[in-house]
Amino acid sequence: MFETLGLSTAAEQLYLELLERPGARPDALTRSDRDPDAVGAAIGELREAGLLLPGPGCTAVAPDVAVELLAHRQEELLRRARAAVEPLLLRYRQVGSPDPVELVAGSEQVSLRYEQLVRCARKEILGFDKPPYVVPVRDLGMELASLGQRVRYRAVYARPALTVPGRLSDVDTLKSAGEQARILPDLPFKLLIVDRRWAMVPVSEGTEVERAMVVRPCSLLDALVATFDSYWQRAVPFGDAGRAGSTGDDPAPGDLSEADRQVLALLATGLTDERIAAHLGLGLRTVQRRVRGLMDRLGAGNRFQAGLQAARTGLL
């Protein structure tokens, strides 16, 4: 349990034993199957980590205190490592890659670097999502894990992305976990930005991404961040099924029902009436009737415009 926090197996075992034997003397902890030197080393490790209370005997601190102490120690080590990386990065650029733009070649290397960047995220991940895709089925594990660690996700989806089988359900899953999603008819390229410190852009679009650029702090990174911010402002928010102020199918005065907001959000993705009906579990005629009524109410000339109008007027 404590190994992930930097405690050795021997020290962890001794700590767990001391929880049931508070005040045990060091010589009483040595059994025939234990090396006295190993027990002494484990006691020393526990004392150094602050997991034993002061005194002649060995009394373990409470488990919640132990976790916080170990976590704080690991955080301090991590802080020191991050502080030490700047001179190393300078040497790396001077010797290996002086250019802030690194070209990654080979689909496996591109995939590996993508995973590394996502796992490095501490504050936010920004992205453009558009087909075609390297793999037909999206692995949500990394993104859900990052969201679980309070990393902020903002993604702009190209409308064709949400017509790919299973993609709409993936977006619903990520939104439920905290992702902020918006939609545009199209996007210029795929993009990943991590903590506004790194960016990744495929060099060529296709089902096999053989090359990608990894961009570190420079004017190009600034331009990519500005591009994301610009498209984010123009994009239509993906409807929030949990928006307050509406219940059931009965709209409040001057407002829309929850079902209508869901239909509007899906209209903006470019889904057909059949796909919308299947996704929401509604009848086709019900959806068609709602679509016609919503377009009339919003004065929209087409389906996507209806979703855009709803977003601009605060209905989504």
> What are the DSSP calls for the chain, one per residue?
--GGGT--HHHHHHHHHHHHSTTB-GGGG--TTS-HHHHHHHHHHHHHTT-B-SSSSB-BPPHHHHHHHHHHHHHHHHHHHHHHHHHHHHHHHHHT--SSEEEEESHHHHHHHHHHHHHH-SSEEEEEE-S--SSSS---HHHHHHHHTT-EEEEEEEGGGGGSTTHHHHHHHHHHTT-EEEEES--SS-EEEETTTEEEEESS-SSS--EEEEE-SSHHHHHHHHHHHHHHHHSEEPP-TT-SS--TT-PPTTS--HHHHHHHHHHHTT--HHHHHHHHT--HHHHHHHHHHHHHHHT-SSHHHHHHHHHHTT--
> Residue 14 has what pLDDT?
86
Whether the Cβ atoms of residue 216 and residue 198 lie closer than 8 Å to each other: yes
- Indicate if the pLDDT at residue 4 is higher than 70: yes
Averaged over 126-152, what is the pLDDT?
79
Averaged over 288-315, what is the pLDDT?
74
> Residue 148 has what pLDDT?
77
- Give the Cβ contact number of residue 62 at 10 Å: 11
**pLDDT > 70: percent of the chain:** 80
Is residue 124 packed enough to be buried (19+ CB in 10 Å), middle (13-18) or exposed (0-12)? middle
- Indicate if the pLDDT at residue 244 is higher than 60: no
Whether the Cβ atoms of residue 117 and residue 198 lie closer than 8 Å to each other: yes
Q: Indicate the pLDDT class of residue 15, thresholds 50, 70 and 90.
A: confident
- Indicate if the pLDDT at residue 9 is higher than 60: yes
Residue 135 CB partners (closer than 8 Å, separation 6+):
none
- Indicate if the pLDDT at residue 113 is higher than 90: no
Flag the least confident range among 145-149, 203-207, 225-229, 250-254.
250-254
Flag the least confident range among 92-106, 160-174, 238-252.
238-252
Q: Indicate the pLDDT class of residue 229, thresholds 50, 70 and 90.
A: very high
> Residue 26 has what pLDDT?
77
Q: How far is CA 100 from the centre of its chain?
A: 25
Whether the Cβ atoms of residue 116 and residue 189 lie closer than 8 Å to each other: no
The two structure tokens encoding residue 57: 């005997």
> Residue 314 has what pLDDT?
61
- Alpha-carbon distance 80 to 84, whole Å? 6
Q: Which residues pair with 288 in a beta bridge?
A: none
**pLDDT > 90: percent of the chain:** 15
Higher-pLDDT residue of 311 and 13 is 13
Flag the least confident range among 32-36, 229-233, 252-256, 305-309.
252-256
Whether the Cβ atoms of residue 203 and residue 211 lie closer than 8 Å to each other: yes
Mean pLDDT of all residues belonging to the chain: 79
- Indicate if the pLDDT at residue 292 is higher than 70: yes
Could you give the domains of the chain? 1-98 (1.10.10), 101-237 (3.30.870.10), 258-312 (1.10.10.10)
